[in-house]
Amino acid sequence: MPELSRPQPDGREAPPDDAAAVNALRSAVMRLSRRLKHQRVDESLSPTEMSVLGTLFRCGSATPGELARKEHVQPPSMTRIVAMLEAKGLVRLEAHPDDRRQKVVTQTEQAEAMLEESRRKRNAWLAELASGLDADEWAKVRAAAPVLEKLAQL
């Protein structure tokens, strides 16, 4: 199976050095992501539960169906995740303002505090890693951050 590469505007296969860059990027992002996941404040929450709380923080209250779409999971799975988060006091279900058949999921202050502490811990860990970079490497990481954010949103 050929390496994934960035397609050229005319549809031709990318040069081998682009394929190598894509492979290196994938590998580095996956390893860094795995290491970041270990920097959790609350070990009782799954990565999926943390992701749902992060989505609620970024996007605001949402129905379970909206959360399922944003998290790329099936609605029944999201219903179970929301129920577990509610049982832990991290979200509350409220009546939908326009549709009585729907519920809206809102994170609690407890969830906000936990997310903030998690962000602090992960940021401190990344800052410690970054302290091992020289000024040129750090400048490249800073310049790459908005581009990586754009890739994460595509």
Q: How confident is the model at residue 31 (pLDDT cuts 50, 70, 90)?
A: very high
In a domain, 109, yes or no: yes
In a domain, 75, yes or no: yes
- What percent of the chain has a predicted confidence (pLDDT) above 70? 90
Mean pLDDT value across residues 61-81:
94
In a domain, 49, yes or no: yes
In a domain, 3, yes or no: no
In a domain, 21, yes or no: no
- What percent of the chain has a predicted confidence (pLDDT) above 90? 60
Query: Tokens at residue 43, please?
Result: 């070990």
In a domain, 104, yes or no: yes
Ramachandran bin of 129, using left for φ above 0, alpha for ψ from -120 to 50, beta for the remaining angles = alpha
Average pLDDT score over the chain: 87
- Give residue-wise pLDDT tens across range 88-144: 999 999 988 888 888 999 999 999 999 999 889 999 999 999 999 999 999 999 999
Distance CA 112, CA 14 (A): 44
In a domain, 59, yes or no: yes
**Total number of domains constituting the chain:** 1
In a domain, 131, yes or no: no
**Residue entry with tokens 């754009």:** 150
> Which residue range is the domain that position 64 belongs to?
39-121
Pairing relation of β-strands 91-95 and 103-107?
antiparallel
C-alpha dihedral sign at 72, 74, 78, 81: negative
CATH number at residue 68: 1.10.10.10
Say what the pLDDT of residue 2 is: 44
Query: Residue 42 burial (CB < 10 Å; 0-12/13-18/19+)?
Result: middle
Say what the pLDDT of residue 93 is: 94
**DSSP helix/strand/coil, 39:** coil
